[in-house]
Amino acid sequence: MTITVVKLGGSLMRSNELTGWLDTIQSLATMTNIIIVPGGGEFADKVRETQASIGFDDQTAHRLALLAMSQYGYLLAGLNQNLHIVEDLESLSSGIDKSMPQLWLPTLLLKDDSEIPVSWDYTSDSIALWLAAKLNANNLVLVKTKTLEQTKISVEEHIKDNTLDKGFQQLTDKFQGEIHLINKNHHHQLIDLY
């Protein structure tokens, strides 16, 4: 069975489309192993704002941003009781054959920042790519609020137009699967991949 990592951005938090995405992901769980990576959304925005006003270091900001992703993850799990929360890679790998979507919280990265640089250049998009590479996933799907012309990406172009974070390019060589960007209004395109 294939593995699909889906990053649900925090920008979906207050949108009507979030329920559609969660329902679509749930319906695909019998066709592919789905792992959700939550974005940071408003929680991460607050970290940026607080760092700018108080002036703490990037290491602290990085850890707080990871916790922001976990906060959004718990919010998603509260909206859909069928999501199975996983925090470590071993449990994620051992649960890979379950027919329910798994929601990965990046808490292990709080202790080890050696693989994800401590910088705002590496956001939840890069973290989702890192996880997809670790799991040898077949597909990485990044859900975006921006209108997109295509679902397959040109990484360089999307970094230039700020659709992807600046660090994303540095991690692409480690991922052998396909990368797709899908607009938040088109959750049905996720089904089209299968």
pLDDT over 90 at 42, yes or no: yes
Place 152 in a pLDDT band, splitting at 50, 70 and 90: low
Nearest to 40 by CA among 61, 21, 20, 56: 61
Per-residue CA distances from 136 to 23, 31, 72, 129, 174 (Å): 25, 17, 25, 10, 9
Q: Tokens 């270091």 map to which residue?
A: 57
Place 77 in a pLDDT band, splitting at 50, 70 and 90: very high
pTM for the model stands at 0.91
What is the mean pLDDT of the segment spanning 143-164?
A: 74
The confidence score (pLDDT) of residue 148 equals 67
Percent of the chain with pLDDT over 70: 92
Cβ burial of 152 (10 Å; 0-12, 13-18, 19+) is: exposed
Q: What gap in Å lies between CA 116 and CA 126, rounded to an integer? A: 8
Q: Which CATH number fits domain 3-192: 3.40.1160.10, 1.10.286.10, 3.30.70.3460, 3.30.930.10?
A: 3.40.1160.10
The confidence score (pLDDT) of residue 150 equals 57
**Which amino acid appears at position 37 of this protein?**
V
Question: Can you name the residues that pair with 139 across neighbouring β-strands?
Answer: 4, 178
The confidence score (pLDDT) of residue 149 equals 62
Angle at CA of residue 113, ends 100 and 179, nearest 5°: 50
Question: Can you name the residues that pair with 152 across neighbouring β-strands?
Answer: 180
The answer to whether 4 touches 34, Cβ cutoff 8 Å, is yes
The confidence score (pLDDT) of residue 193 equals 82
The answer to whether 72 touches 128, Cβ cutoff 8 Å, is no
The confidence score (pLDDT) of residue 156 equals 80
The confidence score (pLDDT) of residue 127 equals 95
For residue 139, the SS3 value is strand
Q: What gap in Å lies between CA 2 and CA 57, rounded to an integer? A: 40
What is the mean pLDDT of the segment spanning 91-97?
A: 68
Q: Where are the domains of the chain?
A: 3-192
Q: What gap in Å lies between CA 24 and CA 18, rounded to an integer? A: 10
pLDDT over 90 at 96, yes or no: no
